[in-house]
Amino acid sequence: MMKRVQLLLGLSLLLLGLSASAVLADASEFRLVVSSNAGTTGGRFAVDLEIRGSASRTLNSLTADVFFGSELAAVAPPGENWFTGSGDYETSVTSISLPGTYYRVLVTGNNIGKTSAGVPAGFTVTTSWQRVVTLVWSIATLSNSYNVNMLTYTDCAAYFDNAANNPLADLTEWDSGTVPFATVKLAARAFLQGPYNTANHNMNTDLYTAALLPPASVYTYDPRTVAVVPASVDWVMLQLRSSVTGPPVFSKSLFLRSDGQVVDEDGTENFDIPTLEGEKNYYVVLSHRNHLTTMSSAPILLTGGAYTSYDFTTAQNKAYGTNPMKAMADGAYAFKAGDGNGDGGIDAGDYAAWFLNNGTAWTYAKWSDFNLDGGIDAIDANSCWRPNNGSATQVP
């Protein structure tokens, strides 16, 4: 029988610290990695439950409880994409509502390595992370970061066959730990080409000055509303990814200040970011409604200790891809302007939208105001769209 392990936060953090470079001797470790995030109500949200061990050993059985908050709704079936060789095991994911809401993952290999030594072969857990199963939910309420974790009162245990896969030998239960949900710290800075002022080395705030910035964000991953719009250039969307092509782990609508600092509505420029994937390396992605979305050139380590700063403005190689930003005359780098329909490319479609709106009454919904000065005119086409025509976001 698998024992119940009460993984309190302090113990989880201790296990994480001890296993930062390697898992403890005779130990297994579980973590969650976001594999899908539709960013829409009713859309799909999924995480991969992964495992690694202190050595290569054949898995016989495991259990893991994965808790989730009210912003997610259970679906049927809740589990898919089981590990290679899962056909030799009994596998299940069950949705349980008491005492909290969680998925219980069970894997049982009653016959693994028992017919004769190593037959059936079973699933080999190694020192590298491998997926056990993909857990799936429906998004009930949009959230910056979904509350999915294995921290409190968690069944989390794994049994392994002995090293020789001796069919007569007893199974071994290894100590089990988790990579815990964590709050990491980030400060980000970027310039937008359209409103950038090379003489002052900052961005103009014409829309704010004219009270044209709306209190509601246009970004679907976090369409929030603020009571007061702060002194800023415009709304932006900040996201974190675990991999180059991975889905967002965190999303939040924020504001871009004149000096390039990303800030909250109260002026906060250092962000505490809750993430189910814990302290690790993340790609930083920043989007604006009519400039090309840009991502950090490499993942950066984010922890719960000191704030990590990331500044896109200082060099072309701070952004992912080939010449992803605009080199400004004063030596700064800025996100390219001219994506009037927000499809990730600057092309004839954006020019057509500008042409239809040129000289018409300004509204925030008309994204052809590429220099964000509160008007749609020839300057937008000639100084922003035309020099960038043919460019596309480098973010996969």
Residues 103-127 pLDDT 10s: 999 999 988 888 887 888 899 999 9
The whole-number pLDDT of residue 111 equals 83
pLDDT at 17 over 50: no
Residue length, the chain?
Answer: 396
Query: Is 68 part of a structural domain of the chain?
Result: yes
Q: What is the pLDDT of residue 2?
A: 34
CA of 125: how far to CAs of 22, 92, 110, 121, in Å? 14, 19, 17, 12
Using the predicted structure, report yes or no on whether residue 390 has a pLDDT greater than 80: yes
Sign of CA dihedral 24, 25, 27, 33: positive
Question: What is the pLDDT at residue 168?
Answer: 66
**pLDDT band (50, 70, 90) for residue 376:** very high
- Tens digits of residue pLDDT in 251-260: 999 999 999 9
* 158 and 199 part of one domain: no
| Model confidence at 354: pLDDT above 80 | yes
Confirm whether 127 is domain-assigned.
yes
| Encoded amino acid at 318, one letter | K
pLDDT average, residue stretch 3-28? 39
CB of 205 closer than 8 Å to CB of 155: no
Segment 149-161 mean pLDDT: 76
Residues 105 and 195 in one domain: no
For 67-101, the pLDDT digits (tens) are 999 999 999 999 999 999 999 999 999 999 977 89
Rounded to whole angstroms, how far apart are CA atoms 294 and 283?
A: 10
Identify whether residues 175 and 202 lie together within a single domain: no
pTM of the predicted model over 0.95: no
Are both 106 and 209 inside the same structural domain?
Answer: no
- Do 368 and 382 contact (CB within 8 A), yes or no? no
How many domains are contained in the chain?
A: 2
For residue 352, pLDDT beyond 90: yes
Residues 369 and 279 in one domain: yes
Q: Are 122 and 112 in contact (CB under 8 A)?
A: yes
pLDDT range class, residue 152, cuts 50, 70, 90: low
Per-residue confidence band for 155, with pLDDT thresholds at 50, 70 and 90? low
For residue 234, count CB atoms less than 10 angstroms from its CB and return exposed for 0-12, middle for 13-18, buried for 19 or more.
buried
Final residue of a domain: which of 179, 202, 218? 179
Instruction: State the residue range of the domain holding 75.
Output: 9-179
Domain boundary among 146, 179, 212: 179
Arithmetic mean of pLDDT, 31-47? 97
* 136 and 198, same domain (yes or no): no
Q: Percent of the chain beyond pLDDT 70?
A: 92
Q: What is the CATH number of the domain that holds 57?
A: 2.60.40.680
Q: Where are the alpha helices (DSSP H) in the chain?
A: 9-18, 206-209, 348-357, 378-379, 386-388
Classify the C-alpha dihedral 105-110-113-119 as positive or negative: negative
Q: Which residue in 236, 215, 242, 220 sits closest to 42, CA to CA? A: 220
Average pLDDT over residues 276-285: 97
pLDDT computed for residue 120 by the predictor: 87
349/380 same-domain check: yes
The predicted structure's pLDDT at residue 293 = 98
Question: What does the pLDDT average to over 274-297?
Answer: 97
Half-sphere exposure of 222 (CA within 13 A, CB side): 19
The reply to whether 79 and 222 lie within a common domain is no
Q: Which residues touch 14 (CB under 8 Å, ≥6 apart)?
A: none
Residues 6+ apart with CB under 8 A from 363: none
Interatomic CA distance for residues 16 and 137, integer angstroms: 26
Q: Are 260 and 321 within one domain? A: yes
Average pLDDT for the chain: 91
